[in-house]
Amino acid sequence: MNSKIYSRIYTLLILTLVSAGLFAQSQYSESTKKAVLVIHGGAGTILKENMSPEKEAELIETMGNALMKGYKIIKKGKSSEEAIIAAINHLEDDPNFNAGKGAVLNEEGNVELDASIMNGKDLQAGAIAGVHGIKNPINAARAVKDHSKHVLLSGEGAEKFARSEKLKFEEPEYFITDKAKASWLKAKKNSESSGYLNLPVEDHKFGTVGAVALDKDGNISAGTSTGGMMMKKYGRIGDSPLIGSGTYADNSTAGVSCTGHGEFFIRYAVAYDLVALMKYKEMSINEAADEIIQNKLMKAGGAGGLIALDKDGNFAFSFNTPGMYRGVIFDDATMLIDFYKE
Closest CA to 247 of 308, 323, 291: 308
DSSP class of residue 133 equals S
CA distance 273 to 246: 11
Strands 254-260 and 304-310 come out as: antiparallel
| Of 240, 234, 55, 205, the residue nearest 129 (C-alpha) | 240
Which of residues 240 and 314 has its CB atom nearest to ligand ASP in the complex? Answer: 240
Examine the residue annotation and report whether 16 is marked as an active-site residue of this protein: no
Instruction: Using CB under 6 A, list all residues that contact ligand ASP.
Output: 42, 98, 206-208, 226, 228-229, 238-240, 259-260, 262, 265
Residue number closest to ligand ASP, CB atom = 262
**Residues 116 and 210: beta-carbon distance below 8 Å:** no
How near is the Cβ of 65 to ligand ASP at its closest, in Å? 21
Taking the complex as a whole, how short is the minimal distance between the CB of residue 189 and ligand ASP, in angstroms? Answer: 22
By beta-carbon proximity to ligand ASP, the closer residue of 303 and 337 is 303
Shortest reach from residue 241's CB to ligand ASP, in Å:
9
Q: How far apart, in whole angstroms, are the C-alpha atoms of residue 85 and residue 69?
A: 10
Catalytic residue from among 11, 62, 177, 208? 208
* Spatial CA neighbour of 2 closest among 66, 91, 63, 72: 72
Count the alpha carbons within 13 Å of 322 in the hemisphere toward its beta carbon. Answer: 13
Q: How many CB atoms lie within 10 A of CB 168?
A: 11
* Least distance (Å) between residue 308 CB and ligand ASP: 15
* For helices 53-75 and 3-19, angle between their N-to-C axes, nearest 10 degrees: 130
Q: How far is the CB of 314 from ligand ASP (least distance, A)?
A: 23
- Residue 284 CB, shortest distance to ligand ASP, in Å, is 24
Q: What residues does 337 pair with on adjacent strands? A: 327
Distance between CA atoms of residues 302 and 67, nearest Å: 28
Helix %, strand %, coil % of the chain (to 5)? 40, 25, 35
**CA–CA separation, 37 and 91 (whole Å):** 14
Of 242, 208, 243, the closest CA to residue 226 belongs to: 208
What is the DSSP secondary-structure string of 68-99? HHHHHHHHTT--HHHHHHHHHHHHHTSTTSSS
Please give the helix or strand (H or E) that residue 305 lies within, else none: strand 304-310
CB of 218 to ligand ASP, least distance (A): 28
Give 73 or 152: the residue with its C-beta nearer to ligand ASP: 152
- Strands 209-214 and 35-44 come out as antiparallel
Catalytic residues: 208
